[in-house]
Structures are given as structure tokens and as C-alpha cells.
Amino acid sequence: MGIFFTYLIPPTLLFIPFSRVISALGLQNSLGALILIYPTMTIPFCTWLVMGFMRSVPWDIEEQAMIDGYSRLAVILRVAPRLILPGILTVVVFTFTLVMQEFVYALTFISSVDRMTVSLGVPIALVRGDVYHWGSLMAAALFTSIPLAVIYNLFIDRFIQGFTMGAVKG
């Protein structure tokens, strides 16, 4: 429950403490600031999702592995990862998508255009007042969607398996 409640904290409440930490570490206007900040929003989300996948693993499979001679540690290290791999891949894809589209923290901690993330740099560099450079905007939208499309297509079977894990009891 604590992890879920941590995820409910609005990101805007964390700007002041984050900005103090970033300035104390000397990471202003660097990607290091985002590398330090992004886990604060992704770790609670990932933990909450992985907990759901872990709970959906049938206890019977773990018992069968122990009957076959595996120790409790061997079950955790050898059997369980294979069972929750679809869930972990689902979490990776969701987290990649979440970080790729994040705008507010990047806007707060990165100020130079050459260091901006794609989700921040595209609207700032390609929109000037009320002038929209539509060709460049559409090209940027296409090029930023390609990595996501590739990741979704590579892991689509595992992704769907991760969504439906635990939905049907066997």
C-alpha cells in the first residue's frame, strides 16, 4: 500500500525538494538531473505492477519445482524469473513510454535546447509563438514514435501475455 500511495503524490509537489537536490549536486541543465529524477516516478509504478505479476504466479508451480529438488532460493532464481518475464517486459515497455513522453520535469531541469529530451525539444524548437512548422513537427512525431513502435512490435506476444497473466486461473 505504501508504494501505491507514493505513486499518488503529485509530481508538482516534488519540484522544490528535487531542485534543491539537483542544485546541491551541481546537475543543473544536465541529463544527469533527469537520470536522477525519473526513477522517482517510475520505481513506484514498476514495483506496483511487478507485485501484481508476482501475485499471479501460481503457488503450485513453485511447489512442483521444490518437489523436483529445487531449493527455495533456486525457485526464486531459476523458476520465478521465467514465469514473470512477460510482466517484467510489460513494465519495461510502460516505463519506456512513460519516460519518453514526460514533459514537466524535463522542462523544469533542462534549459538549453541542445540538451533537451525529444518530448520537450520538439515543441520548444519547432513552435515559435503562433508559427507552427508543421512539416518538421510531423517528421519529429514520426521519428519519435518509431522506437516505441519497434519495442511494442518486438515484444507484442510477451506484452499481451503480461496483460492477461492472472486473468485466467489454470
What is the distance, to the nearest Å, from the Cα of residue 59 to the centroid of all Cα atoms in its chain?
A: 28
| Tens digit of each residue's pLDDT (9 = 90 or more) over 17-47 | 888 999 999 998 888 898 898 888 788 878 8
pTM, two decimals, is 0.69
Which residues fall within 8 angstroms of residue 6, CB to CB, at 6 or more apart?
44
**C-alpha to C-alpha distances, 8 to 3, 92, 132, nearest whole angstrom:** 9, 20, 35
Q: How far is Cα 118 from Cα 98, in angstroms, rounded to an integer? A: 13
What is the distance, to the nearest Å, from the Cα of residue 1 to the centroid of all Cα atoms in its chain?
A: 20
2-164 classified as CATH 1.10.3720.10: yes
To the nearest whole number, what is the mean pLDDT of the chain? 81
| Tens digit of each residue's pLDDT (9 = 90 or more) over 140-170 | 888 888 888 888 888 777 666 655 554 444 4
Which band of pLDDT confidence, cut at 50, 70 and 90, is reported for residue 111? confident
Contact (Cβ atoms closer than 8 angstroms) between residue 122 and residue 140: yes
Q: How far is Cα 68 from Cα 71, in angstroms, rounded to an integer? A: 9
